[in-house]
Amino acid sequence: MPQMSRQDPLIEHHTVDYVPLAERHGKARDLFTLWFSTNIAPLPIVTGAMVAQVFHLNLAWGLLAIALGHLLGGIVIALASAQGPRMGIPQMVQSRGQFGRYGALLIVFFAALIYIGFFISNIVLAGKSIVGIVPSVPVPASILIGALSATAIGVIGYRFIHTLNRIGTWVMGSALLAGFIYIFAHDLPADFLTRGGFNAAGWLATVSLGVIWQISFSPYTSDYSRYLPADIGITRPFIATYLGATLGTILSFAFGLVAALATPEGTEAMVAVKQATGWLGPILMVLFLLNIISHNALNLYGAVLSIITSVQTFASHWTPSIKVRVLLSGVVLAGCCVVALGASADFISQFIGLILALLLVLVPWASINLIDFYIIKRGVYDIASIFQADGGVYGRFNLHAIVAYFIGIIVQLPFANTSLYVGPWANLVEGADLSWLVGLVVTCPLYYCLATRQHTQKIRAARLGYTD
Which pLDDT tens digit goes with each residue over 387-436? 998 999 999 999 999 999 999 999 999 988 877 778 888 877 776 778 88
Q: Per residue in 221-257, is it b (16+ CB within 10 Å) or e — as a string?
A: bbbbbbbbeeebebebbbbbbbbbbbbbbbbbbbbbb
Residue 348 is predicted with a pLDDT of 58
Cα–Cα distance for residue pair 317/387, rounded to 1 Å: 8
Residue 288 in contact with residue 39, Cβ under 8 Å? no
Residue 300 in contact with residue 329, Cβ under 8 Å? yes
Q: Which residues pair with 57 in a beta bridge?
A: 197
Q: Is the pLDDT of residue 4 over 60?
A: no
Residue 5 is predicted with a pLDDT of 41
Residue 2 is predicted with a pLDDT of 40
Cα–Cα distance for residue pair 427/32, rounded to 1 Å: 37
**Which sign does the torsion angle of CA 117, 415, 451, 217 carry?**
positive
Residue 1 is predicted with a pLDDT of 42
Residue 349 is predicted with a pLDDT of 62
Taking all residues of the chain, what is their mean pLDDT, rounded to a whole number? 85
Residue 167 is predicted with a pLDDT of 86
Q: Which residue has the higher pLDDT, 94 or 155?
A: 94
Lowest-pLDDT choice from 89-103, 328-342, 371-385: 328-342
Residue 278 in contact with residue 72, Cβ under 8 Å? no
Q: How far is CA 159 from CA 14, 115, 228, 232, 307, in A?
A: 12, 20, 11, 18, 21
E-assigned strand segments in 15-109? none
Residue 465 is predicted with a pLDDT of 56
DSSP state of 191: T
Comparing CA positions, the residue from 129, 167, 128, 166 lying closest to residue 284 is 129
Residue 150 is predicted with a pLDDT of 84
Note the CATH architecture for domain 21-352: Orthogonal Bundle (1.10)
Any idea where the domains of the chain sit in the sequence? 21-352
Give 122-143 pLDDT, tens digit per residue.
Answer: 888 788 788 878 888 888 888 8
* Phi-psi domain of 8 (left: phi exceeds 0; alpha: psi -120 through 50; beta: other): beta
Cα–Cα distance for residue pair 398/99, rounded to 1 Å: 5
Lowest-pLDDT choice from 70-74, 279-283, 296-300, 352-356: 352-356
Residue 7 is predicted with a pLDDT of 44
E-assigned strand segments in 30-170? none
Q: How far is CA 270 from CA 41, 124, 293, 376, in A?
A: 11, 15, 17, 46
Residue 10 is predicted with a pLDDT of 58
Q: Which residue has the higher pLDDT, 66 or 290?
A: 66
